[in-house]
C-alpha cells in the first residue's frame, strides 16, 4: 500500500527537521565550528573517516549537444582524428584525467532520442531534427561508438534512456541490446552490428529531468514514478543487479522541489537504487547579488541540497518500511550562467552549432574546487557525480580545429581525479567566518549565514598511505593560515603542493593565452604533527603527503 501525505503535512515535517538542524548549526553537521580571528585549524585523525570513496563520484557528462560530440570527441576528416574519427588529442586529455564514469547521451537530448537511429551501418542512419536544442543530429556517433570511445579513454559508461517521448518497452530493449549476450532479438541485433560482446553497462539513468517544463515528455511525478517502476521491473528481469537511477528534482527552485522526489519515490522506491540531483550555479544579481564572496559559498548550497534530498529518500524509506537506503547521483553540476538560454541554447537547425560554450574564469574554478570538496564530504551518501559537461559544452575542455584548451575549471576537477583516493577523512575544522545575506536573492539561495573562510577536505589512500588535502581559501583579500593537527601518524614527506590563484578573479584562459589561470607550486610547510599551510587569497590548493 502506498501512503500519501498532503503538501502541507509534508512541508511541516521537513520544516521541523530543518529547524532541528539549525538549532545545532548547519555547519556543525559537516564538521565545522566557528573560530575567532586567527588561523583556521583542522584536526586529522586517520582512523576517523566519513566514507570510502566511490570514484564514480568524480565522473563527467557527454551529451549530444552543440559541439560536444561532433568536433568535440568525433571529427572524421580532422588531422587530429584516428581511423574511427575520434579526436586523439581529446582522448589523450580525458584519458590522462582518469575520469571514472561518463554519463551519455543526455541530458535534455535523451528525452527525444531514438537509440535505434544511432546504431547499425552509418550510411543507413537517419539525420533527424533534434528538438531539445533545435539542431541537426546525423547519428554518426551512437551507442557503439560511445562504448568504443569509453574504452579508449578508460572510463565506465553511465547510460541514460528516453522516458520522455520514449516507452518503457524501448528502454528495456536498449538494456537488452547493450547487456544481453546473445540469442534474443535485441542482443542479436547488436551482434549483427559487429559487437559480439555485450557492453555490460552497470549504471543507468531512467530518463532526464522529468520534472522540468522544458523537458520533452514532461509529466507528473506520479506518472513518471509509475513509468519508472514499470521500466525498472522489466530491466530487473534482464539483470537484477543493475544500478538504476530515478530522476529527482532538476534544481532547487522549481515549485515541485522535494515534493516531486517524494511522490515519484512513493511510486518506485523499491525498484530503484539511486535518485539524481542536478544544479547549476552562477554569479548573478538573482543568485549572489553579483558578490564573489557569496558565489564562493555556493558549494555549501550544493551540500544543503544533498541533505534535503537525502531527507526525502529517508522519509520514503521510513514510510515504506524498506531495508534499502537509496544513494544519490549528483549527475549534473557546474557553474553555468553566461552562455545560457536564447541563442546559446537554440541550434537554429544546424549541425554541431556553438551552444552553451561557457568561458570559465578564476572564480569559477575556485567554486568548482568548493564543489569537489562538498561532493567528497558527502561521499557517504552521494555515490555518483558528474561534472556537466566534459568538452565544448559548459566544459573544462574546449576544442578548435587544431588543439584542446584547458579552461580554468579543468584544474580543480583534474586534481580531484588525480589525488582523491581511498577514504574521505572526518575532519574537525575551525575557521573564521564571513556573513552572507539573504536580502534580494532568489529564494533557494537566500540565506543569512556565516561562511567559513577556509574549506578543507582530506582523503587518505590506505593502499599507499598518501593523504591529500583540498583547501579553498574564500578570503578575497588576504592570505589565510590553516594549521593541521595530525593526531595519528604524521606526514613524512610532501609529494606535491600546488595552488590555483591570481590577481584577477575574472581572468580566463583562451586559445591565444591558454595558461593565464593555471596552477603554481606553493611552498609547503615542513612535515610534522603540526603543519601550517599559508593559503593565498582567493585560492584553491592541493597537497599530497606521504604518511609512512
Instruction: Name the site residues for ligand AHR (rule: CB under 6 A).
Output: 63, 106-108, 208-209, 332, 388-389, 394
Which residue among 176, 308, 332, 358 is the active-site one? 332
Taking each helix axis as running N to C, give the angle between helix 259-268 and helix 7-23, from 0 to 180 degrees, rounded to the nearest 10: 110
Nearest distance in Å: CB 388, ligand AHR: 4
What would the grid cell of residue 266 be? 512513493
Q: Are 288 and 442 in contact (CB under 8 A)?
A: no
Kindly provide the residue ranges of all beta strands, DSSP E only, lying in 146-216, ordered along the sequence: 156-161, 203-206
Strand-pairing partners, residue 498, are 521, 542
Active site (annotated) includes residue 332: yes
**b/e sequence 270-302, b meaning 16+ C-beta within 10 Å:** ebbbbbbbbbbbbbbeebbbebbbbbbbbbbbb
Nearest distance in Å: CB 63, ligand AHR: 5
Closest CB to ligand AHR among residues 53, 302: 302
Active site (annotated) includes residue 209: yes
Nearest distance in Å: CB 170, ligand AHR: 20
Closest CB to ligand AHR among residues 85, 347: 347
Instruction: Compute the distance between CA of residue 242 and CA of residue 167 in angstroms, rounded to an integer.
Output: 19
Q: Are 51 and 426 in contact (CB under 8 A)?
A: no
Closest CB to ligand AHR among residues 391, 484: 391
Nearest distance in Å: CB 57, ligand AHR: 18
Secondary structure of residue 331 in the 3-state scheme: strand
User: What is the largest distance, in Å, between two alpha-carbon atoms of the chain?
Assistant: 69
**Closest residue by beta carbon to ligand AHR:** 107
Closest CB to ligand AHR among residues 385, 519: 385
Which residue among 63, 209, 263, 308 is the active-site one? 209
Nearest residue to 175 via CA among 188, 189, 159, 192? 159
Closest CB to ligand AHR among residues 310, 394: 394
What would the grid cell of residue 503 be? 590577481
What would the grid cell of residue 382 be? 552521494
- Residues with catalytic function: 209, 332
Amino acid at each position: 500500500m502506498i501512503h500519501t501525505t498532503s503538501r502541507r503535512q509534508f512541508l511541516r515535517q521537513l520544516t521541523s527537521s530543518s529547524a532541528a538542524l539549525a538549532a545545532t548549526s548547519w555547519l556543525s553537521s559537516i564538521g565545522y565550528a566557528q573560530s575567532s580571528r586567527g588561523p583556521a585549524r583542522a584536526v586529522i585523525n586517520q582512523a576517523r573517516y566519513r566514507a570510502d570513496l566511490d570514484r564514480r563520484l568524480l565522473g563527467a557528462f557527454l551529451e549530444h549537444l552543440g559541439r560536444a560530440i561532433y568536433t568535440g570527441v568525433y571529427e572524421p576528416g580532422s588531422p587530429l582524428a584516428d581511423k574511427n574519427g575520434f579526436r586523439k588529442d581529446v582522448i589523450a586529455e580525458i584519458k590522462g584525467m582518469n575520469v571514472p564514469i561518463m554519463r551519455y547521451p543526455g541530458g535534455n537530448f535523451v528525452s527525444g532520442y531514438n537509440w535505434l537511429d544511432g546504431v547499425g551501418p552509418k550510411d543507413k542512419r537517419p539525420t533527424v531534427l533534434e528538438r531539445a536544442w533545435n539542431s541537426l543530429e546525423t547519428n554518426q556517433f551512437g551507442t557503439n561508438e560511445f562504448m568504443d570511445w569509453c574504452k579508449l579513454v578508460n572510463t565506465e559508461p553511465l547510460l541514460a534512456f528516453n522516458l520522455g517521448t520514449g516507452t518503457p518497452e524501448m528502454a528495456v530493449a536498449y538494456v537488452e541490446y547493450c547487456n544481453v549476450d546473445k540469442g534474443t532479438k535485441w542482443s542479436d541485433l547488436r551482434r549483427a552490428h559487429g559487437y559480439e560482446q555485450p557492453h555490460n553497462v552497470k549504471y543507468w539513468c531512467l530518463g532526464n529531468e522529468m520534472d522540468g517544463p522544458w523537458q520533452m515528455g514532461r509529466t507528473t511525478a506520479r506518472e513518471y514514478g509509475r513509468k519508472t517502476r514499470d521500466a525498472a521491473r522489466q530491466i530487473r528481469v534482464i539483470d537484477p543487479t543493475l544500478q538504476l537511477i530515478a530522476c529527482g528534482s532538476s534544481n532547487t527552485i522549481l515549485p515541485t522541489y522535494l515534493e516531486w522526489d517524494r511522490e515519484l519515490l512513493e511510486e518506485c522506491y523499491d525498484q530503484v537504487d539511486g535518485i539524481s540531483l542536478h544544479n547549476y550555479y552562477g554569479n548573478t544579481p538573482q543568485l549572489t547579488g553579483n558578490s564573489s564572496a557569496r558565489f564562493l559559498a555556493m558549494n555549501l548550497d550544493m551540500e544543503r541540497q544533498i541533505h534535503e534530498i537525502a531527507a526525502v529518500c529517508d522519509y520514503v524509506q521510513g514510510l515504506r518500511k524498506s531495508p534499502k537506503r537509496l544513494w544519490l547521483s549528483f549527475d549534473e553540476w557546474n557553474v553555468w550562467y553566461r552562455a545560457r538560454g536564447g541563442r546559446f541554447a537554440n541550434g537554429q537547425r544546424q549541425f554541431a552549432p556553438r551552444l552553451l560554450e561557457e568561458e570559465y574564469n578564476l572564480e569559477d574554478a575556485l567554486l568548482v574546487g568548493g564543489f569537489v570538496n562538498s561532493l567528497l564530504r558527502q561521499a557517504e551518501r552521494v555515490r555518483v557525480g558528474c561534472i556537466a559537461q566534459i568538452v565544448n559544452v559548459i566544459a573544462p575542455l574546449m576544442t578548435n580545429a587544431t588543439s584542446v584548451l584547458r579552461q580554468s575549471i579543468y584544474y580543480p576537477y583534474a586534481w580531484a581525479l588525480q589525488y582523491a583516493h581511498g577514504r574521505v577523512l572526518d575532519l574537525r575544522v575551525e575557521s573564521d567566518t564571513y556573513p552572507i545575506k539573504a536580502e534580494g536573492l532568489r529564494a533557494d539561495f537566500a540565506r543569512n549565514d556565516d561562511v567559513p573562510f577556509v574549506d578543507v577536505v582530506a582523503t587518505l589512500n590506505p593502499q599507499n598511505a598518501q593523504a591529500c588535502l583540498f583547501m579553498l581559501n574564500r578570503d578575497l583579500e588576504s592570505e589565510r593560515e590553516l594549521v593541521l593537527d595530525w593526531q595519528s601518524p604524521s606526514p613524512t614527506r610532501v609529494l606535491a603542493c600546488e595552488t590555483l590563484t591570481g590577481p584577477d578573479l575574472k581572468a580566463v584562459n583562451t586559445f591565444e593565452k591558454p595558461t593565464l589561470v593555471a596552477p603554481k607550486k606553493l611552498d609547503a610547510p615542513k612535515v610534522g604533527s603540526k603543519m601550517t599551510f599559508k593559503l593565498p587569497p582567493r585560492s584553491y590548493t592541493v597537497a599530497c603527503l606521504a604518511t609512512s
